[in-house]
Amino acid sequence: MTIAGRAVVAHTLAALTAVDRLQSILVVLAPDDDTFERCVSVPSDGRIRVVRSGGSTRARTVVNGLAALIGQGADPDDWVLVHDAARCLIRTEWIDQLIDACSVDPVGGLLALPVADTLKAEAAGRVASTLDRRATWQAQTPQMFRIGALAGALAASGDAVTDEAGAMEAVGLQPLLVPGALENFKLTYPSDFALAERLLTAPARSDR
């Protein structure tokens, strides 16, 4: 998909390449992907590498990406940040905030937002109950953990986990919550693309 004149993932890569502390940026694609190079003008940055080893689930794709990093010389004790390409409004300063917070943490953590809305549980299209939103956060990405620890957690928790923090939780660890930004949403519904278009073309983001 294209928004604001560029493919979604191109906006994401532009933000990531602006983070000087990232030593390598790995784009994990489906094995049969034949559109990336045609649709994306990859920044001329030697840190960007592309592998076609994506799996049938998010967890499997991340496992395969971690294996690729190890195969390219990364150490199991190195930090890795896993990010949704569909969160294309990510800002460099938010990534830096996450790195600053997590680099001194024994576990690692993730960008997240405290839930402000009232939450409803649904049954057959009607409200079944109101959920307690206190101490509830909405997970975002990037999520930052040690490569070896994350790979082990994903192997132990299986493919059902929907984010990396969930895998770390499943093995008894408590990831750090680092306050993110509402703008760092994941493009999911049609209206999200229109909103992202407006935000990416706003004067305040003209440097992107």
DSSP codes, 12-24 = HHHHHHT-TT---
Q: Look at 141 and 41; give whichever has higher pLDDT.
A: 141
Which tokens hold the place of 168?
A: 């770390």
Has residue 48 got a pLDDT over 80?
yes
**Which residue matches tokens 């840190």?**
47
Can you tell me the distance from the alpha carbon of 192 to that of 184, in angstroms, rounded to the nearest whole number? 11
| pLDDT on residue 134 | 87
* pLDDT more than 90, % of the chain: 88
Has residue 124 got a pLDDT over 70?
yes
Kindly report, residue by residue over 128-155, the tens digit of the pLDDT: 999 998 889 999 999 999 999 999 999 9
Q: Under CATH, which number does the domain 2-96+144-173+182-205 receive?
A: 3.90.550.10
What average pLDDT does the segment 69-83 reach?
97
Helix (H) or strand (E) holding 59: helix 58-71
Residues with Cβ within 8 Å of residue 195, at least 6 apart in sequence: 185
Has residue 203 got a pLDDT over 80?
no
Has residue 182 got a pLDDT over 90?
yes
| Domain assignments of the chain as residue spans, ordered by start | 2-96+144-173+182-205
When pLDDT is cut at 50, 70 and 90, the band that residue 208 belongs to is very low
Residue 124 phi, psi (nearest 5)? 55, 40
Residue 137 phi, psi (nearest 5)? -125, 150
| pLDDT on residue 204 | 62
Q: Look at 204 and 18; give whichever has higher pLDDT.
A: 18
| pLDDT on residue 207 | 46
Three-state SS for 133-198 is CCCCEEEEEEEEEEHHHHHHHHHHHCCCCCCHHHHHHHCCCCCEEEECCCCCCCCCCHHHHHHHHH
Q: Look at 1 and 22; give whichever has higher pLDDT.
A: 22
Q: Please state the pTM of the whole predicted model.
A: 0.92
| pLDDT on residue 98 | 98
| pLDDT on residue 205 | 56
